[in-house]
Amino acid sequence: MNRCPSCGTVYPDDARFCTKDGTRLLGPAAAPPPIAATPPRPTAVPVRGAATPIAHTNLVGQTLQGRYEIVKKVGEGGMSFVYLANDIATRERYAIKVLSAALSQDTNAMARLRREASLGMRLAHPNICHIIRLGETEDGLVYVVMPFVEGEILADRTNRLGRISLSDTARLVNDMAQGLFVAHQLKIVHRDLKPENIMVCPRPGGPDIAVVMDFGLAKERRADAELQKLTATGIILGTPEFMSPEQLRGKPLDARTDIYSLALMTYEMLTGKLPFQGRTQQEMMIARLRSDPTPLRKTRPELEFPDAVEKVLFKAMQRNPDDRYQSAPEFAEAFTAAAATSGPGPGGAGGSGGSDSGLFGKLFGR
């Protein structure tokens, strides 16, 4: 399958360009972290302390509000730019997401961002890249401060290795489940869980850990009238190939929609492919609404997967949320136990794991 590096949409092997934004598609080889769309032309925005107005694309060397010294740009999207910055007082490193002038002046967008920031600041956890603060300069430049996370995007790792071993997959699934559980306890649903939103980070003296990124589409499960208005277009938010059936139908969402997406990701980590196939994006969505997932053994017949693993994934990908695991830890525990039933082998715990590439991944980008 070919994938659009901008929006993450998956296309058949013979497709060459994304039908949404015209971006050239990338094959199964390692792809760069996705960015939202073609960046807008730089808009000059004055920053306090600067002699002349500067562009969002050229903040290197500037200091935001006398605290954050911008070191370099590490990413950009259609409506924002992400920079590495040092705290002048503590010398700690942070990621600074600077919003475009157009977005900063959009009243509805800013109302949504402030709500998201208030939610994001409650998500401090080792397996979540959370929002630390939302800032605004006197000149109207709006920015979001987050931890600086280094590692390799999960999508890149799967592409690089072809597949991830059963033991490594179980460990990463457990990490993601722990982070999601913290959000779910706060009634927050990620709603855009996908390999491009997971960073696999090296840890000194221990195994790599998975960090859930980009809660920018997250929302409170029990949304009030204001939030419902701001997220009224929720059906088109998210990445179609990892959406749950209820999300495709525009139904109310809860933690179980993230569990479904996590199960899809787990399947792709194990096989390098998705459990629902189609010649077009629409066919893939219809398959999730009407069909059962393709068994692991049919997708990769040369590998040996335990029956227990197959059963766990099948339950987690049920179309009816009531038939799935009801919490992320419940799914992770069941999957870990199932993975432990196999010995070393092509599809068992002794598969390839790989090492970190040290690439800086996506940080809260759109």
Which residue in 168, 175, 192, 258 is the catalytic one? 192
212: nearest Cα among 227, 237, 185, 191: 191
- 184 and 125 in contact (C-beta within 8 Å)? no
Three-class DSSP category at 111: helix
Q: How far is CA 69 from the centre of its chain?
A: 27
Instruction: Determine whether 192 is an active site residue.
Output: yes
Sorted by sequence, the CB contacts under 8 Å of residue 21 that are 6+ apart come out as: 4, 6, 7, 37, 38
Q: Two tokens at 292?
A: 């059962």
Q: Which two tokens stand for residue 18?
A: 């994304």
Tokens of 65: 């509000």
Cα dihedral 313, 315, 316, 320 sign: positive
Residue 313 CB-half CA count within 13 A: 29
Q: Which residues of the chain form beta strands (DSSP E)?
A: 2-3, 10-11, 44-45, 54-55, 63-64, 68-76, 80-87, 93-99, 133-136, 142-147, 152-153, 188-189, 198-203, 206-212, 219-220
Catalytic residues: 192
